[in-house]
Amino acid sequence: MTSSHKGFELIIMDYKAGMFLYALAILLGDVLVQQLRVLPDYSGLAILLVGVCTLSLAIIVINKVCKNDTSNIYFTLIIYLILLFLISFIYSSLYAKQQLSNRLDGQLVGKNLVVTGVISDIPVVNGHVQRFTFNVDDVRMLSSSNQQNTKILSTSHFPRKIRLSWYYGKEVKASEKWQFEVRLKPPHGFMNPAGFDYESWLFQQGIEATGYVRKSAFNRQSHGFSPETFLDSVNRYRQTLAQLIDSLADKRQERLSGSVEDTGGYSLIKALAIGDKSSITNTQWNVLVRTGTSHLMAISGLHIGLAALFGYVLFRRIVPVFVIRRIPAQHVALVAGLFIAFLYALVAGLSITTQRAIIMLFAVSMLMLVRHNHRPFDVLGFALIVILVID
């Protein structure tokens, strides 16, 4: 065997011990599903599952028969990659089917429906209209002959998360339970290569229908029992912070006697603190775009990293001596920094970009805590695998 061939074999063995190559195989399976015009049916997925079982059996046989034979390294590695690719393809297909299963039925488009549920985000107010995400717990359809009679519909295949607009309605807040009379439609949007892809954004947010609240006697806040989730309570506190920032902006404007409108800084503070960009004016956006700083308003890895660094430096210096005698100060500060970053991500709305940053920060922190000798590609691979499993 030549020296170059030996070197190549060592590289392959080194990659086999890492995660990055495995993460790429999983990523390719996920990407392939996103390129399909039609999702594969269950019979096709069943055939792929048989292939997964066959490859798993082949790996077991090879490891027993040729346990010490280095000539089978390439073959075993290829089987592992194909196996992960197929598992990712099957998992992504099932995930996509599940997300599309609750799309609004065409027979319910334009019908008068009464939905009960919880407001799951901070409502965006623009003039006389409020827009918010609504988690549906119960749905009824109004009778066309008598608008007071309702027919209970099954929620098993009804959209669980919808986007509503309410014109000239009462003020609503995050985590409140309401009953609305609505008209819904499937989540659609114009696809302009130079503009915002609204339909893609709705799909990323898991929103399965959009619509508006009708003027009706059914519209009222509900006080029935509805278990509050952790994110519901977080959104309630986020809206409280948003109202506090708005009140500070109003007080400043009053001190200026209305002569000069100088509340723009508060809208930027609200965007950076809780991820609420609804108060940023078009003039401010134009300035941000021209200066190349608009990306700073999207809470992402930069902001999460700074929060973690702040927590690390702060706690690294205030760790008590009796704790250092048992646990290294660096480890305490690392956990504290990760916790501070996670709290900031929650307050900022836990968007997709913050989720990605937190997962990558968690991967790095865990490997440092266990004092594992890792490579940067291993950290990226581990974070990528976790992200793809979650979504």
What is the pLDDT of the chain when averaged over all its residues? Answer: 81
Q: Which residues pair with 212 in a beta bridge?
A: 165, 183
Positive or negative torsion for Cα 269, 270, 274, 279: negative
Q: Which of 3-7, 61-65, 244-248, 372-376 has the lowest average pLDDT?
A: 3-7
**Calpha distance 43→49 (Å, rounded):** 10
Token pair of 29, please?
Answer: 């399976």
Q: Other CB atoms closer than 10 Å to residue 219's CB: what's the count?
A: 17
pLDDT for 8 equals 39
CA end-to-end distance (rounded Å), the chain: 45
> Average of pLDDT values for 263-276?
80
> Average of pLDDT values for 232-254?
82
Model's pTM, two decimal places?
0.75
Please write the tens of the pLDDT for every residue from 295-328: 888 888 889 999 999 999 998 888 887 777 788 8
Is pLDDT at 92 greater than 80 in this prediction?
A: yes
Q: In the structure, what pLDDT confidence band is assigned to residue 5 with cuts at 50, 70 and 90?
A: very low
3-state secondary structure of 139: strand
> Average of pLDDT values for 2-16?
45
Please write the tens of the pLDDT for every residue from 56-83: 777 777 666 666 555 567 777 778 888 8
Question: In this predicted model, which residue has the larger pLDDT, 143 or 293?
Answer: 293
Q: Which of 145-159, 192-206, 300-314, 343-357 has the lowest average pLDDT?
A: 145-159
Instruction: Specify whether the backbone of 131 is left (phi greater than 0), alpha (psi in -120 to 50) or beta.
Output: beta
Best-predicted range by mean pLDDT among 68-77, 213-222, 243-252?
Answer: 213-222
Do residues 110 and 183 make contact, with C-beta atoms less than 8 angstroms apart? yes
Listing DSSP states for 339-368 in one string gives HHHHHHHHHTT--HHHHHHHHHHHHHHHHH
**Calpha distance 132→348 (Å, rounded):** 17
Selection from 106, 43, 48, 52 nearest residue 79 by Cα: 52
**Calpha distance 88→94 (Å, rounded):** 10
Is pLDDT at 355 greater than 70 in this prediction?
A: yes
pLDDT for 7 equals 45
Q: How far is CA 44 from CA 47, 80, 94, in A?
A: 5, 21, 12
Listing DSSP states for 78-133 in one string gives HHHHHHHHHHHHHHHHHHHHHHHTTPPPGGGTT--EEEEEEE-SPPEEETTEEEEE
Q: In the structure, what pLDDT confidence band is assigned to residue 278 with cuts at 50, 70 and 90?
A: confident
Query: Which residues does 171 contact at the CB level (< 8 Å), separation at least 6?
Result: 130
Is pLDDT at 226 greater than 60 in this prediction?
A: no
- Per DSSP bridges, beta strands 150-152 and 129-142 are antiparallel
Token pair of 187, please?
Answer: 């989540």
